[in-house]
Amino acid sequence: MSRLVIVGGSDAGISAGLRARQTDPSVEPLLVVADAYPNFSICGIPYHVSGEVPDWRSLAHRTRDELQTAGLQLLLDTRARRIDPDSRLVIVTAADGREQRLPYDNLVFGTGATPVRPPIKGLDRLGPADNVHLLHTMGDTFALTESLARGPSTALIIGAGYIGLEMAEALTLRGLEVTVVEQLAQVLGTLDIELARLVEDELIRHGVQVRTGTTVTGLTTTRDGLRIAARGPDALPVTLAAELVLVVVGVRPDTVLARTAGAGLGQAGAIAVDRHMRTSVPHVFAAGDCAHTYHRLLDDNVYLPLGSTAHKQGHIAGENAAGGDTRFAGAVGTQVVKVFDLVAARTGLRDRGCDSAVAQLTDRLHACGRPQGVLPGR
């Protein structure tokens, strides 16, 4: 019997636990989950907010009973505080303050990511009670729906990435007047500009006001709602108003626990892993948004926080933690988003990324003696 402790209960953690049981049924995966919502679809939150998925419970990929029937043990509302890799112990604290020391034979970090808080003056003093929200967890979702129940008529979304645009649609469907503010010169910065323009046109066609090249610098409360200070594309000051503000400008890997355990960091400060999802600490693996990702086209590691990638990495980490020997094939950056009646997708490299990749590959081929301009297989 092997004791596998997994820190995190989202895509990577659940995938790791399930695959470990499939690989070796004697393994006992114990998942330490910081909240009460294991295996929930964070990507599905906009569809609950819009009302298209009325019951938030439907966002769960599997119920708790299903997870436990599959052989996973769940410690919910429990936070991992420290890892002792020498003694192979995880020190955790339950919601009531009780501390436990959990022994492990192998450990998987599936701690995910945390939302970025941009340097906006006033953001640190405002929160859900003021109708100012981040959106990353089920707790964030419940706080947002409570604010929406108070009946705001206008919303401003800071960030025009995938979640930002899905939320623009969701709030529009709820009858709010929505403004999207993006610091970059286009929406969806991971798309080539031609596709991004089509998405922006679709937003505008459905009544969403889009302000690209605009940086929010401050938030204050007023008698009528919220005042948003910003700088426009020409660097001139802009003042906007809304009754609800949503801040969704991206995520960063949650590596605090791994770093204190001695794990090395890689791309974008994410946990460095090899193709077997092993960290630099013996008997410790990592997968999902907390770890970097091998990109097949770049032949290098990148930070690519995607649910599909997290699931695949978790699968590899769980199998290897249970005694397997399999390698992560890598990702190519496939992403899809629906914005009203338009679906936008990308895979591989953008024009900008492709130029950089070709330059790197040419340098590598030249360094190993292959004539420049001659690619493998040609």
Query: Any idea what the CATH number is for the domain that residue 279 is in?
Result: 3.50.50.60
Instruction: Give the pLDDT score at 354.
Output: 60
Give the up-direction half-sphere exposure of residue 61: CA atoms within 13 A in the CB hemisphere.
Answer: 17
User: pLDDT by residue (tens digit) across 341-365?
Assistant: 999 999 999 876 565 555 554 554 4
Q: Supply the pTM of this predicted model.
A: 0.91
Answer yes or no: is 342 within a domain.
Answer: no
Hey, what amino acid is at 280? S
Run of H or E residues at 197: helix 193-205
Domain count, the chain: 3
Q: Do 278 and 154 have their domain in common?
A: no
In a domain, 343, yes or no: no
For residues 214 and 374, the model is more confident at: 214
23 part of a folded domain? yes
Q: Is the pLDDT of residue 285 over 80?
A: yes
C-alpha to C-alpha distance for 191 and 202, rounded to whole angstroms: 15
For the chain, what is the mean pLDDT? 93
pLDDT for the residue numbered 182: 98
Are 322 and 354 in a shared domain? Answer: no
Question: What digits encode the pLDDT tens for the residues 35-86?
Answer: 999 999 889 999 999 999 999 999 999 999 999 999 999 999 999 999 999 9
> Two tokens at 17?
């636990």
- Please choose, from the candidates 43, 276, 223, the residue with its C-alpha nearest in 3D space to the C-alpha of residue 291: 276
Same domain? For 219 and 281 the reply is no
The three-state secondary structure class of 69 is helix
Is residue 245 domain-shared with residue 125, that is, in the same domain?
yes
Q: What is the pLDDT of residues 292-331, one digit of tens each?
A: 999 999 999 999 999 999 999 999 999 999 999 999 999 9
Whether residue 45 sits in one domain with residue 24: yes
Percent of the chain with pLDDT over 90: 90
Tracing tokens 């032949």 back to the chain, one arrives at 299
Q: Is the predicted pLDDT of residue 88 greater than 70, yes or no?
A: yes
State the residue range of the domain holding 220: 117-249
Phi/psi-derived region of residue 188, left when phi > 0, alpha when psi is between -120 and 50, beta in every other case: left
DSSP reduced 3-state for 132: strand
Report whether pLDDT(161) > 60: yes
Distance CA 27, CA 132 (A): 44
Contact between 71 and 29 (Cβ < 8 Å): yes
Using the Cα atoms of residue 205, residue 206, residue 209 and residue 212 in order, give the sign of their dihedral.
negative
Answer yes or no: do 123 and 245 share one domain. yes
